Homo-oligomer: A and B are copies of this chain.
């Protein structure tokens, strides 16, 4: 099966596409903006969706910003968004732990200050954020470090202070199978087009903890369908009338497929049309699952599908 190009739809096809959903979920980085630069036309598309009574949610795997910080970014780049529209993985992780962790226990966090901030906002007790580097040797470290007795969960998000002692502590807490293991997301890298650098993302930290702990985490971010459960609980969305827009197929598109949404890939981020064409031809069902229903050059291409009056 190959994806349908939005730009080549007939007038009727465009209308049918537009009328096929009431709710839009969209990824942010690579779809609405790249770093601090808005994708041309993106702010207007969001306005037009709202004008046409489409519900919009912004769904990002980013765990380095709190809800409030993300909202500031939306506003500074000219996007209309309110706090309930923005769903990020630090918020989701806090929500999951609030619901599943014994409140007398604490979370050992590998992650950013923003992640701790979201946990604090829901009164989920936590520790671990910040620098934790090896001052001595591993045997001396192990002789002197004390494992806390009230740890009920290990949470792994993006942490630029990731270090060997953090890895050791996380794996040691996870030895107790009653300790929950939660990851914000498993993205391998941040996308930085044209750079010499590869910027490792949360997935690289999660996999090293997994390797040592010999356990799989519960992932709250895309492509996990946990977000969908949260959304359906609070917003009563209908999956069959929901469109997921993203730039990364192994998170955004796979997430949409798993939730029963329509899926649209924009070519302004991680994956290219060439990737989609290759997967379409593959016999591997795991690759087939990455093929979006639709694709478009950019989110701006969607404006051609709006009713003429808008």
- Residue pair A164, B162 in contact (C-beta under 8 Å): yes
- Residue pair A160, B137 in contact (C-beta under 8 Å): yes
Q: Which residues of chain B come closer than 8 Å to A204, judged between CB atoms?
A: 167, 171, 208-209, 211-212
Closest chain B CB from A178 CB (angstroms): 15
Contact segment of A95-103, A193-201, A274-282: A193-201
When each residue 198-224 of chain A gets 1 if its CB lies under 8 Å from chain B and 0 otherwise, what string results? 111101110111111110000000000
- Residue pair B207, A188 in contact (C-beta under 8 Å): no
List 29 interface pairs A-B (beta carbons < 8 Å), by A numbering: A131-B133, A133-B161, A133-B163, A134-B160, A142-B195, A142-B197, A147-B196, A159-B164, A162-B164, A162-B167, A163-B163, A168-B198, A168-B200, A171-B189, A171-B200, A171-B204, A172-B198, A175-B198, A188-B211, A188-B212, A189-B212, A198-B212, A200-B212, A204-B208, A204-B211, A205-B208, A207-B208, A207-B211, A208-B208
Docked pose: A259 CA to B291 CA in angstroms: 41
The reply on A138 being an interface residue by CB < 8 A is yes
- Residue pair B208, A196 in contact (C-beta under 8 Å): no
Nearest B residue (CB) for A35: B139
Q: Which residues of chain B come closer than 8 Å to A174, judged between CB atoms?
A: 198
Instruction: Identify whether the interface residues of A are mostly helix, strand, loop, or mixed.
Output: mixed
Closest chain B CB from A92 CB (angstroms): 21
Closest chain B CB from A22 CB (angstroms): 37
Q: How large is the interface on A (under 10, 10 to 19, 20 to 34, 35 or more residues)?
A: 35 or more
Docked pose: A189 CA to B167 CA in angstroms: 11
Q: Which residues of chain B come closer than 8 Å to A203, judged between CB atoms?
A: 211
Beta-carbon contacts under 8 Å, A197-253 to B: 197-201, 203-205, 207-214
Tell me whether A199 and B168 are in contact in the complex, defined as CB-CB below 8 angstroms, given that A188-B212, A207-B211, A208-B207 are known contacts: yes
Tell me whether A138 and B196 are in contact in the complex, defined as CB-CB below 8 angstroms, given that A207-B211, A212-B189 are known contacts: no
Q: Which residues of chain B come closer than 8 Å to A205, judged between CB atoms?
A: 208
A-B pairs with lowest CB-CB distance, top 5? A200-B212, A171-B198, A208-B208, A204-B208, A204-B211
Nearest B residue (CB) for A145: B197
The residue in A137, A141, A211 that gathers the most chain B C-beta atoms within 10 A of its C-beta is: A211
When each residue 151-179 of chain A gets 1 if its CB lies under 8 Å from chain B and 0 otherwise, what string results? 00000000111111001100110110000
Docked pose: A239 CA to B209 CA in angstroms: 37
Q: Which residues of chain B come closer than 8 Å to A214, judged between CB atoms?
A: 188
Among B133, B198, B209, contact of A213 (Cβ-Cβ < 8 Å): B198
Nearest B residue (CB) for A135: B131
Besides the known contacts A168-B197, A171-B189, A204-B211, 10 further A-B residue pairs in the complex with CB atoms under 8 A apart: A131-B133, A134-B161, A138-B160, A167-B204, A168-B198, A172-B198, A175-B196, A198-B213, A204-B208, A204-B209
